[in-house]
Structure 1
Amino acid sequence: MNEHHETHDFDRPYWERHWQQSHRNGPAPAPNPYLISETRDLKPGTALDAGCGEGSEARWLAEHGWDVTAADISAEVLARAGQIPSHVDWVQADLTSWTPSQEFDLVMTHYAHPSIPQLAFYDRIAEWVAPGGTLLIVGHLHGDHPAEATATAAGITARLEPAKWAIVTADEQARTLTAMDGRTVSLHDVIVRATRHQDS
């Protein structure tokens, strides 16, 4: 890919334009494979999908017994997500300023890009994990996307204090998928899963 990337504010107007211009041909996307592999051994409870996009991950969790809240800044994409019947509570929210009214057994995010620095966003959503709960971050590695929208496994885990968190997964993987316009796209992903200690 081109090493020179346009920078973005990743604010609400940006995401509304993004989703208004993104038209999918065919069914909704499959849930992220890392969600399935990293949560299959977890007992269902409450979950928050932070930056849910089209909602595939949120719907998958709901289908597997989770009580899911899915939040995104874009009204456009939430309207799209809500067209598919599911037991998901869809919430329009700017996650850089919104604070949920509860902690969750699982807080996850998949490729969400906020208007604040990426690692600061991960710090913020980590605070919403209940004691004994799980934080699951799936993001883009450096080099594939604008620098402000990327991270590394080491960069993320360095923010998770050992006194509060046990790191379960810290991985970097490559995979391919089919984009909305039918193109085959190569992704380089960072996957971090951590469990919050019960006494923290």
Structure 2
Amino acid sequence: MTTDSTRTDAEIWDDRYRESDRIWSGNPNVALVREVEGLKPGRALDLGCGEGADAVWLARWGWQVTATDISRVALERAAVHAAEADVAGRIDWQWHDLGASFPEGEYDLVSAQFLHSMVDLPREEILRRAAAAVAPGGVLLVVGHSGFPAWEENPHPEVVFPTPDEVLASLELPEAEWEVLLSEEHQRTQNDPEGRPTTRTDNTLKIRRTAGP
């Protein structure tokens, strides 16, 4: 988290993206690919889309995607990525500070991949709105870190990484209207700043809305 009160959250994230021509790998998140490949394409909402790799992958698989981020710099890069992949017509890029505004509509898939932030983020509130945006029969997919990477020298004690079961409890969903498809931790390989492969633990919550409100 940051205590910088002189810049908006959007400005902080824009500056973060300006540090490099590319912040992320350009590849879709592994958990997204694994959990979505078997779903019938429909309308998808990608929360915190960054440079757009997940949204582009979804569009390639036939989804009509609404993708949102707080950084306009990231969204500009994402739009270029989509045009290069020839899927620009299947993605609606929207700027949102999700703590203040949220995309309209209902979706067959709502994806929140690593919705963590270096600024204050009302994550539980945002995920409740994400669940409310899932259409009957649709899926909410939340993937997050289970802790800081091993090379992080100064972890922030105020930052909490909830388990998938804790995420589920925080959503406060009517049990009769939702089915838990997956709630687990898993490990993946991630390179440290020196390029050396290390193991990191993440977690996934995948739930389906079985009925309308």
Residue 118 of structure 1 contacts residue 149 of structure 1 at CA under 8 Å; is this kept in 2?
A: no
Q: How many residues align?
A: 193
What's the CA shift for 1:136? 0.5
Q: TM-score, normalised by structure 2?
A: 0.80
Determine whether 1:135 maps to 2:140.
yes
Residue 99 of structure 2 contacts residue 126 of structure 2 at CA under 8 Å; is this kept in 1?
A: yes
1:62-101 to 2 correspondences below 5 Å: 62-84=59-81, 85=83, 86-87=87-88, 88-101=91-104
| Cα offsets for 1:47-104 (capped at 9, x unmatched) | 0001100111110000000000100010011111111213311111111122322111
Residue 103 of structure 1 contacts residue 130 of structure 1 at CA under 8 Å; is this kept in 2?
A: yes
What's the CA shift for 1:30? 1.1
Residue 179 of structure 1 contacts residue 185 of structure 1 at CA under 8 Å; is this kept in 2?
A: yes
In 2, the alpha carbon distance for the partners of 1:179 and 1:81 equals 25
In 1, the alpha carbon distance for the partners of 2:183 and 2:212 equals 23
Amino acid at match of 1:113: H
1:115-126 to 2 correspondences below 5 Å: 115-126=120-131
Residue 22 of structure 1 contacts residue 180 of structure 1 at CA under 8 Å; is this kept in 2?
A: no
User: Which of 160, 178, 188 is residue 201 of structure 2 equivalent to?
Assistant: 188
Q: Corresponding residue for 1:8?
A: 2
Amino acid at match of 1:188: T
User: Which of 107, 111, 114 is residue 110 of structure 2 equivalent to?
Assistant: 107
Residue 175 of structure 1 contacts residue 188 of structure 1 at CA under 8 Å; is this kept in 2?
A: yes
Amino acid at match of 2:142: I
What's the CA shift for 1:179? 7.0
In 2, the alpha carbon distance for the partners of 1:83 and 1:179 equals 28
Deviation larger for 142-151 or 190-199: 142-151
Amino acid at match of 1:194: I
In 2, the alpha carbon distance for the partners of 1:60 and 1:71 equals 15
Structure 2: 5+ residue stretches without partners: 150-154
Q: Corresponding residue for 2:20?
A: 22
In 1, the alpha carbon distance for the partners of 2:136 and 2:61 equals 22
In 1, the alpha carbon distance for the partners of 2:162 and 2:116 equals 11
Bigger share in helix: 2
Deviation larger for 162-171 or 116-125: 116-125
Deviation larger for 157-166 or 28-37: 157-166
Amino acid at match of 1:89: D
In 1, the alpha carbon distance for the partners of 2:166 and 2:205 equals 10
In 2, the alpha carbon distance for the partners of 1:181 and 1:190 equals 25
RMSD: 2.5
Q: 1:93 to 1:180 in 2, by over 3 A?
A: farther
Q: 1:112 to 1:129 in 2, by over 3 A?
A: same
Q: Corresponding residue for 2:186?
A: 173
Deviation larger for 123-132 or 145-154: 145-154
What's the CA shift for 1:29? 1.9
Residue 133 of structure 1 contacts residue 195 of structure 1 at CA under 8 Å; is this kept in 2?
A: yes
Q: Corresponding residue for 1:156?
A: 167
Q: Corresponding residue for 2:43?
A: 46
Structure 1: 5+ residue stretches without partners: 1-6
Amino acid at match of 1:168: L
Work out which of the two has the higher radius of gyration on C-alpha atoms and give 1 or 2.
2
